[in-house]
Amino acid sequence: MEELLKSSIVKGFVFSVYGELGPTPIYCFPNYVTEKELRELIQESKVGDDLILTYRDITQISIKNLSLFISDKIIYEEEDLRKVQYFAILPYPDFNTTSLTYFHFIYTSFSDLPVATAFSILVEENRRSFLYNNMNRIKPLVFEFFKTFDDQLYNTYPPREQIEEFFRDLLRKLIEIEHSPSTPITTHRKMKILFAGLDDSGKTSFLLSVDRKYSKLIGLKPTTGARIKSIEALGATIFLWDLGGQYQFREKYIDKAEIYLYEADLLFYFIDIRNKIRFDESIEYLQNLKTVLKEFNQNTPIVYILSKGDSDILNSVEIKDNIEFIKQKLVNLSPNEPLEIYTTSIFQIYTILRAFSSGISKLSPNRDLINHNLKKFSFATQSYLTLLLSDDGLLLADFCDKQAVELTKIPKSDVINVFEVSAPQFAFIFKIFTKFKALKRDEAIFKVDRSTILFKRIQIEDSILFLLFLVDDENKKAKIKKELTTFLTDTQDLLSRYLS
């Protein structure tokens, strides 16, 4: 095992549990060394590139991991803990290492409650793109691994020698991925988002809206071929490929798929909901794209954009029928996948930003755990609805419980929407007042009927973020202030590895 680790990008594994004494490392590969051994190794200059950890180090890793996952009692209120499982990419700057960590609960004969666990695959920090780029292939391996490994832990945690072969097996499979990586292993994560759909389906308009170049929306010309540009979001560079949709270009993308479609991290697929005559043509193009993407075997997620859903026509019978019809077609095409479908309109910028945020968040391995932490934070502060937004209005995480509906009297299906729509406006007011120094603190309170909306500006490393809380009483402010530190500490690492 030690030899295999030496030959691999994967430098180690740490498996820990939240035991009676708190976070406890159970298995660690390579085995930890004592402080004395470490001193000797350093003296003899035998440290090299290998990962050498002491018991204190792996305890530190365990504490960091598990504190992200659970907080005392709260998590146990979840009904079915078997479904609670997350992946996250986490930094350990002290060890110059980054991990892909898998969190889940195990059921044992020696504990009444399910036991929270964390399993980290450690790689050198500057090779972490291996984890991002191959996540879709690594995740199933880890799931598969714990399907059998959990049984080994039912009665006791067996000695290390006894279970080593399981980990060795997993390592071999990871090394196989390493030898056939889906992208060359570089220091930077490469991200490619495709915007595809028939001509005139609103792709370029969507992208321009994202860019907020409203003025350019008028007098748009069809896109000839592929237009590529890049944006900076949350510290990462993302390449946006606007694939002009006229017939001759569509053919080219399929023919030269290795240029246009290869290594796509995400596809936004556009369908003009007003143009029913072209639905079949659009579905056919989608099918072709899906077939090619499947051949590349990269599980590219798809976000469907039903475009031109302007508010003045959205309630007409014809458009409603069109939407139902096309949704059904999409479901038939991918019967076993949950589909992400957004109706957008360039006249309601938030519909576009929302679809776009949701797409970006698909690129993040940490999105679910950030959401999970926002939920813990919301419980602890009794916030009924909480949103975390980036400075440019991307929704990074959201939480909403039924008390938000009771307080605002907004129907359940709309309440998140209403706040998502208004959040950027609150941010706007907040920014203007800050600019004119009319705000003394990094927060503002808005009262809307019985609702109190607390809006807070926070800083995580170099990023400015906003938090919006819906509470029933201004006094919750103190509680939020108190809990905020914990939330920021947890979220900092998750955000710093959000995209790359």
Ligand X SMILES: Nc1nc2c(ncn2[C@@H]2O[C@H](COP(=O)(O)OP(=O)(O)OP(=O)(O)O)[C@@H](O)[C@H]2O)c(=O)[nH]1
Binding site for Mg ion (CB under 5 A): 204, 223
The site partner of 54 among Mg ion, ligand X, none (C-beta below 5 to 8 Å per kind) is: none
Min separation Cβ 313 and ligand X, Å: 8
d(CA 425, CA 103): 36
Min separation Cβ 204 and ligand X, Å: 3
Residues 8 to 37 in contact with ligand X, rule: CB under 6 A = none
Q: Are 140 and 116 in contact (CB under 8 A)?
A: no
Min separation Cβ 225 and ligand X, Å: 9
The span of 87-95, 196-204, 354-362, 431-439 binding ligand X (CB under 6 A) equals: 196-204
Nearer to ligand X, 314 or 458 (CB): 314
Min separation Cβ 345 and ligand X, Å: 4
Asked if 222 is part of the footprint of ligand X (rule: CB under 6 A), the reply reads: yes
**Which of 97, 201, 383, 496 touches ligand X (CB under 6 A)?**
201
Min separation Cβ 108 and ligand X, Å: 54
Q: How far is CA 100 from the centre of its chain?
A: 13
Alpha helices (H) along 70-108: none
Residues 251 to 270 in contact with ligand X, rule: CB under 6 A = 270
Asked if 343 is part of the footprint of ligand X (rule: CB under 6 A), the reply reads: no
The span of 125-133, 134-142, 195-203, 457-465 binding ligand X (CB under 6 A) equals: 195-203
Asked if 345 is part of the footprint of ligand X (rule: CB under 6 A), the reply reads: yes
Q: Which residues contact 146 (CB under 8 A, 6 or more apart)?
A: 102, 104, 119
Asked if 47 is part of the footprint of ligand X (rule: CB under 6 A), the reply reads: no
Residues linked to residue 342 through DSSP beta bridges, in sequence order: 305
By C-alpha distance, which of 172, 307, 187 is closest to 236? 187
d(CA 158, CA 214): 63
Residues 267 to 286 in contact with ligand X, rule: CB under 6 A = 270
Buried b (16+ CB within 10 A) or exposed e, 210-242: beeeeeeeeeeeebeebeeeeeebbebebebbb
**Which of 108, 136, 182, 246 touches ligand X (CB under 6 A)?**
246
Residue 85: Cβ within 10 Å count? 16
Min separation Cβ 255 and ligand X, Å: 17
Nearer to ligand X, 145 or 279 (CB): 279
Asked if 205 is part of the footprint of ligand X (rule: CB under 6 A), the reply reads: yes
Number of residues near ligand X (by CB under 6 A) = 21
**Which of 135, 341, 346, 460 touches ligand X (CB under 6 A)?**
346
Asked if 204 is part of the footprint of ligand X (rule: CB under 6 A), the reply reads: yes
Min separation Cβ 72 and ligand X, Å: 47
Residue whose entry in the numeric block shows the structure tokens 């490469």: 190
Q: Which residues contact 162 (CB under 8 A, 6 or more apart)?
A: none
Asked if 223 is part of the footprint of ligand X (rule: CB under 6 A), the reply reads: yes
Residues linked to residue 452 through DSSP beta bridges, in sequence order: 447, 471
In Å, the largest CA–CA distance within the chain is 79
The site partner of 298 among ligand X, Mg ion, none (C-beta below 5 to 8 Å per kind) is: none
**Which of 19, 23, 91, 202 touches ligand X (CB under 6 A)?**
202
The site partner of 205 among ligand X, Mg ion, none (C-beta below 5 to 8 Å per kind) is: ligand X
Nearer to ligand X, 23 or 309 (CB): 309
The site partner of 376 among ligand X, Mg ion, none (C-beta below 5 to 8 Å per kind) is: none
Residue 178: Cβ within 10 Å count? 17
Stretch (H or E) spanning 14: strand 10-19
The span of 82-90, 303-311, 333-341, 372-380 binding ligand X (CB under 6 A) equals: 303-311
Residues 304 to 323 in contact with ligand X, rule: CB under 6 A = 307-308, 310
Min separation Cβ 29 and ligand X, Å: 51
Nearer to ligand X, 128 or 203 (CB): 203
d(CA 226, CA 440): 48
The span of 1-9, 70-78, 96-104, 198-206 binding ligand X (CB under 6 A) equals: 198-206
Stretch (H or E) spanning 17: strand 10-19
**Which of 203, 354, 372, 457 touches ligand X (CB under 6 A)?**
203
By C-alpha distance, which of 65, 56, 51 is closest to 18? 65
Min separation Cβ 317 and ligand X, Å: 18
By C-alpha distance, which of 240, 246, 207 is closest to 223? 246
DSSP E strands: which ranges in 415-460? 443-448, 451-460
Angle between helices 349-362 and 203-210 (to 10 degrees): 90
Min separation Cβ 222 and ligand X, Å: 3
Residue whose entry in the numeric block shows the structure tokens 């056919």: 284
| Tokens encoding 285 | 């193009």
Nearer to Mg ion, 147 or 221 (CB): 221
Residues linked to residue 459 through DSSP beta bridges, in sequence order: 464
CA distances from 157 to 114, 151, 161 (A): 15, 10, 11
Min separation Cβ 197 and Mg ion, Å: 9
Residue 24: Cβ within 10 Å count? 16
Helix (H, G, I), strand (E, B) or coil at 80: coil
Nearer to ligand X, 345 or 378 (CB): 345
Q: Which residues contact 235 (CB under 8 A, 6 or more apart)?
A: 462, 463, 496, 498, 499, 500
Residues interacting with ligand X, by CB under 6 A?
Answer: 197, 199-205, 217, 220, 222-223, 244-246, 270, 307-308, 310, 345-346
